[in-house]
């Protein structure tokens, strides 16, 4: 706050462009440190998940994080007006990629989330998540206060969200679809959409549940049922969540000790390096370790909120809050899932789970967040 007020007392209308050193100084290095700490937890947990070896996950995770960190810093130094301009193209490209994935998935028979472009395997839904945030932030940046509250003006962003949600859902990737929907809703809420519209949406969503149920795949229905009653099939679909709860619960207050988790090392845990990495970590480090990790995430969220609140432009506020909400949802859905509070939907724990695209997209989003802080007092025209 003090930096912001000190940097622009005399030039309200046209603040002096800031120099490179100033930009570097404005990067939230504390936040970078917290993110690195979280990624460090990831390396630790992946090292343990591999049975005390850097191969095949931990080393690669560290390297990936290093390059993603560089990407984040570059993104953080890009002026928001560039993102304002690129929002549409990014969104359109990501929607096209989602369509491509769906079509290929249809042809290839079966769930398809990947697109192979040259040497890269890209998960378009990860890009779409960020694209939706950029689009909505850009849209509301261009609206006046009164317009934001009007129903008609709510329809375009709603469409932007639902197109992506629909395309992700048919992949089918229920977890990501829910995250885009909830992240979008959070953004609409802070952008000023009236409360009654949320209530109306909630009511109609409940009314649509039976339809959604009938559209769901068999295995998705099974997951929901298993979530509602894990003992229904303790050796089948409920097995994963039961074993995960056993692992977490047996960790106790201070855990079984590094590399001493039995549930993960003896393969009782499924997907221990991806969706269930939290379980692997918590079994060995206990509630103490879990609270430290959750605390680190909470720090990121608090940091995100303060960046959002300090931004002098609406685009920055919404962008920062959208990214923060996305990170929170990622973290919440994953941990709640492995603790049996939500159905198993396949959402990784950001920065900790093994997996390239998610890491890059999260770090890209964090770059946008830090960029908002670097360019917090930039003048952005409201009209497009």
Which residues of this chain interact with other proteins, rule CB under 8 A? 13, 144-145, 148, 186, 189-192, 235, 243, 245-253, 262-263, 266-268, 282, 286-287, 290-291, 294, 298, 301, 305, 308-309, 313-314, 317-318, 321, 325, 328, 332, 335-336, 339, 341, 382
Could you give the 3-state DSSP secondary structure of residue 346? coil
The nearer residue to other proteins, 12 or 207, going by C-beta atoms, is 12
CB of 311 to other proteins, least distance (A): 9
CB closer to other proteins out of 156 and 249: 249
By beta-carbon proximity to other proteins, the closer residue of 243 and 357 is 243
Least separation in angstroms between residue 237's CB and other proteins is 14
SS3 252: coil
**239-251 helix and 277-310 helix, angle to the nearest 10 degrees:** 80
Cis peptide before 271 (omega within 30 of 0): no
Rounded to a whole number of angstroms, the CA Rg of the chain reads: 21
Nearer to other proteins, 90 or 318 (CB): 318
Cβ-based nearer residue to other proteins, 21 or 253? 253
**Nearest in space to 219 (alpha carbons), one of 231, 211, 227, 210:** 227
- CA distance to 20, 66, 136, per residue, from 381 (Å): 23, 35, 16
> C-beta of 290: minimal distance to other proteins in Å?
5
Smallest separation (angstroms) from other proteins to the CB of 53: 16
Query: Taking the complex as a whole, how short is the minimal distance between the CB of residue 118 and other proteins, in angstroms?
Result: 34
Sole residue written with tokens 């990495």: 277
CB of 88 to other proteins, least distance (A): 22
Give the integer Cα–Cα distance in Å for 86 and 138: 10
Of 262, 263, 218, 265, the residue nearest 242 (C-alpha) = 263
Rounded Cα–Cα distance for residues 309 and 297 (Å) = 18
User: In sequence order, what DSSP letters do the residues of 183-208 get, joined into one string?
Assistant: HHHHHHHHHT--HHHHHHHHHHHHHH
User: Of 90 and 326, which has the nearer Cβ to other proteins?
Assistant: 326
> Would you call 311 helix, strand, or coil by DSSP?
coil
The least distance separating other proteins from the CB of residue 73, rounded to whole angstroms, comes to 26
Q: Between 54 and 268, name the residue whose CB sits nearer to other proteins.
A: 268
């Amino acid at each position: 706050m003090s930096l912001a007020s000190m940097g622009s007392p005399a030039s309200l209308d046209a603040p002096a462009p800031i120099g490179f050193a100033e930009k570097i100084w404005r990067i939230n290095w504390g936040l970078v440190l917290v993110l690195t700490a979280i990624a460090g937890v990831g390396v630790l947990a992946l090292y343990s998940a591999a049975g005390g070896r850097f191969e095949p996950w931990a080393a690669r995770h560290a390297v990936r994080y290093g390059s993603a960190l560089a990407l984040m810093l570059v993104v953080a130094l890009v002026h928001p007006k560039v993102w304002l301009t690129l929002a549409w193209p990014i969104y359109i490209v990501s929607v096209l990629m989602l369509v491509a994935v769906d079509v290929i998935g249809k042809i290839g028979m079966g769930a398809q989330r990947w697109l192979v472009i040259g040497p890269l395997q890209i998960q378009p839904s990860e890009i779409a998540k960020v694209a939706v945030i950029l689009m909505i932030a850009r849209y509301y940046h261009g609206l006046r206060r009164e317009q934001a509250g009007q129903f008609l003006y709510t329809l375009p962003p709603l469409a932007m969200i639902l197109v992506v949600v629909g395309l992700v859902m048919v992949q089918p990737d229920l977890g990501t679809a829910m995250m885009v929907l909830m992240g979008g809703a959070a953004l609409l809420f802070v952008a000023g959409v009236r409360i009654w519209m949320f209530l109306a949406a909630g009511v109609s969503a409940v009314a649509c549940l039976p339809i959604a149920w009938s559209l769901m795949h068999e295995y998705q229905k099974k997951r929901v049922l298993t979530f509602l009653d894990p003992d229904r099939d303790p050796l089948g679909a409920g097995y994963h969540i039961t074993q995960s709860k056993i692992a977490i619960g047996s960790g106790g207050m201070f855990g079984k000790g590094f590399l001493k988790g039995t549930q993960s090392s003896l393969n009782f845990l499924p997907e221990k390096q991806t969706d269930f990495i939290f379980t692997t970590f918590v079994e060995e480090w206990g509630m103490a370790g879990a609270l430290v990790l959750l605390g680190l995430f909470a720090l990121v969220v608090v940091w995100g909120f303060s960046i959002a609140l300090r931004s002098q432009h609406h685009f920055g506020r919404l962008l920062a809050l959208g990214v923060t909400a996305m990170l929170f949802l990622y973290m919440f859905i994953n941990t709640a899932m492995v603790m049996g509070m939500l159905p198993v939907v396949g959402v990784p724990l950001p920065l900790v789970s093994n997996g390239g695209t998610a890491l890059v997209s999260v770090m890209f989003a964090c770059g946008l967040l830090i960029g908002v802080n670097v360019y917090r007092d930039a003048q952005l025209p409201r009209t497009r």
